[in-house]
Amino acid sequence: MLFRNRRIYREKLKNYKLLPNSLRKYINIWNPGRKNVLDEHIKQPLWTKNFIFVSLINFIIMLSMYLLLVTIGGYAVEAYHVSTSIAGLVSGIFIIGSLIGRFWAGKYIDILGQKKILVIGTMIFTVTTGLYIISDHLTLMLIMRLINGVGSGVASTATGTIAAYITPVTRRGEGISYFSMSTVLSTAVGPFLGLTLLQFISFQQLFIVCLALAVVALLLLFLVKVDEELIPAENMHKGFRLGDFIDKNALPIAAVVLVAAMAYSSILSFISLFTAENHLMTAGSFFFLVYAIAVLISRPITGRLMDTKGTNIVIIPAFISFIIGLLLLSFTHHAALLLVSAIFIGLGYGNIQSIAQAVAIKVTDPHKIGLATSTYFIFLDFSLGFGPYGLGYLIPSVGMHGLYRLMSVLALIGLVLYYFLHGRKANVYEQQ
């Protein structure tokens, strides 16, 4: 009798069935004397000290970023007496800096090391956040915003890479889903907290709050330890080469994210105008809260589904949910429908974002996880940062409701693009 303890056998069989087909061929559950992958998988914890602290650092940096992203424009108008377009530049130049930071981090993270890149990014972010307090000229503020964005881009590329690196391979989809919840929380809490604090404190005091958060993130770095293999500097290609900044294997899924994020940028930038136009300001204030709740509830489930059943079973329904949410939004005139659309958009785009990041990491070589993570975020940030500028020109012609109908078509294009660029070959990647 191979298993004297039937309970142990049943437990092994249960866990065996949870694994993707690509791993089952390595597992011998019938021979208890043979060390197998299943035993190692069961022993590999997800919620390690490093994983928790890296997620916390990411949350704090993103929280500080979103605290200012929604308030810095108002500060520019009040302090420098500039137009709304210049105030928008003060807010948006941060995204340009973030893109620069991601390009740099993507090239050097596997040479300098993930921990060192995280330290560099967090230090830049902390110092420039502190300099907001003494920035008494518009030019200086623009420079600080740009460099602050560089620090954020470098740090968040490092946290995403470390989270993927320390997550067990067989639980990577689940791990990235949990990690990315730190960003979701910051996008929900940051704007709300920033606008609420400004009712009680000054902009200068808000800058001090953001500096305190950045210092906490800096101190937490001492608790993170990463064991990694670095690429020797002499192996780095000299001069400019696109492959040093963009991972070609991650490009297909990054292109899908570019389209999906473009559609979502219309919500980030114009939902306040949409709710004001439809006299739904009260319900509108709960939109991102409902969105965040939908994401937080669904991501642990979708992450595990991806690991056990494959990518398509998660991302295709997510795109369909995103399309439905945008269509519902385009027909919204009542508070209830607005919040229902937030649920569908959260279940849709909220999961597209995390699953696509996991795919970008899965399809690349292990030593290029940092570059793949950077590639994913470059395309994501580009859409979120520059998408609203182009979409804004459509509003006078099609109106707010028409804009969201067009965005549902764009999301449909994203689904078709996903199928042809990755979906139809997903099984090939999952067998590797």
User: Is residue 261 a part of any domain in this protein?
Assistant: yes
Same domain, 401 and 271: yes
Distance CA 309, CA 100 (A): 36
Q: What angle do CA 77, 79, 85 make, to 5 degrees?
A: 25
Residue 425 per-residue DSSP state: G
Q: Do residue 129 and residue 225 come from a single domain?
A: yes
**Nearby residues of 62 by Cβ (< 8 Å), 6 or more positions away:** 156, 182, 183, 186, 187, 190
Domain that holds residue 388: 240-432
Within this chain, do residues 302 and 226 fall inside the same structural domain, yes or no? Answer: no
Report pLDDT digits (tens) over 73-98.
788 888 888 886 787 778 778 888 99
Whole-angstrom distance, CA of residue 177 vs CA of residue 300? 6
Instruction: For residue 319, give every residue at least 6 positions away whose Cβ sits within 8 Å of its Cβ, in sequence order, or none.
Output: 260, 348, 352, 411, 412, 414, 415, 418
How many whole angstroms separate alpha carbon 120 and alpha carbon 128? Answer: 12
Query: What backbone phi and psi angles, to 5 degrees, belong to 150?
Result: -60, -45
Among residues 178, 209, 230, the one where a domain terminates is 230
Contact between 76 and 86 (Cβ < 8 Å): yes
pLDDT at res. 239: 54
Rounded distance between C-alpha atoms, residue 431 and residue 308, angstroms: 12
Q: How far apart are CA 225 and CA 162, in angstroms?
A: 10
Q: What pLDDT score does 32 carry?
A: 46
- pTM of the model as a whole: 0.75
User: Do both 315 and 276 map to the same domain?
Assistant: yes
Q: What does each C-alpha distance from 272 to 171, 190, 276, 346 come to in angstroms?
A: 38, 16, 6, 17
Q: Enter the DSSP assignment of 133.
A: G
Task: Specify whether 95 is located in the same domain as 196.
Answer: yes
More confident: 158 or 95: 158
> Residue 319 has what pLDDT?
97
C-alpha pair distances (Å), 135 with each of 123, 130, 140, 204, 243: 18, 9, 6, 10, 38
Q: In angstroms, rounded to a whole number, what is the distance separating the alpha carbons of residues 221 and 323?
A: 40
Question: Is 305 found in the same domain as 160?
Answer: no
Q: What pLDDT was estimated at residue 428?
A: 58
Residues 218 and 295 in one domain: no
Mean local confidence (pLDDT), 224-230? 74
Q: Please check whether residue 313 lies inside any domain of the structure.
A: yes
Q: Is 128 helix (H, G, I), strand (E, B) or coil?
A: helix
Q: Where are the alpha helices (DSSP H) in 251-311?
A: 251-277, 281-284, 287-309
Q: Are residues 223 and 346 in the same domain?
A: no
Q: What pLDDT was estimated at residue 384?
A: 80
Enter the tokens of residue 190. 């940051």
pLDDT tens-digit map of 93-127: 888 899 899 888 887 887 888 899 999 999 999 99
Q: Is residue 344 part of a domain?
A: yes
Looking up tokens 């690196």 gives: 165
> Which of 206, 230, 254 is at the close of a domain?
230
Residue 111 token pair: 């040479």
- Tens-place pLDDT, residues 367-382: 777 788 888 888 988 8
Q: Which residue has the higher pLDDT, 226 or 158?
A: 158
Boundary-marking domain end, from 230, 248, 263: 230
167 and 272 together in one domain? no
153 and 61 in contact (C-beta within 8 Å)?
Answer: no
Same domain, 215 and 335: no
Answer yes or no: do 63 and 142 share one domain. yes
In a domain, 34, yes or no: no
With respect to residue 63, please indicate whether it lies within any of the assigned structural domains: yes
What is the SS3 assignment for 31? Answer: coil
Tokens 């965040």 appear where? 292
Q: Is 186 inside a domain boundary?
A: yes
Is the same domain home to 209 and 262? no
Q: What would the DSSP string read from start to end of 180-216?
A: HHHHHHHHHHHHHHHHHHTTTS-HHHHHHHHHHHHHH
Question: Can you list the alpha helix ranges (DSSP code H) found in 19-137?
Answer: 21-24, 37-43, 49-69, 72-80, 84-112, 114-131
- In a domain, residue 95? The reply is yes
Task: Evaluate whether residue 36 is within a structural domain.
Answer: no
Task: Report the CATH number at residue 256.
Answer: 1.20.1250.20
- Count up the domains in the chain and report the number: 2
Pick from 414, 188, 405: which is nearest to 318 by CA? 414
CB within 8 Å of 193: residues ≥ 6 apart = 63, 67
Tens-digit pLDDT profile for residues 7-50: 554 555 455 444 444 444 444 444 444 445 444 444 577 788 98
- From 95, 361, 412, 383, select the one nearest 253 (Cα to Cα): 361
> Measured on CA atoms in the order 399, 405, 410, 413, is the torsion positive or negative?
negative
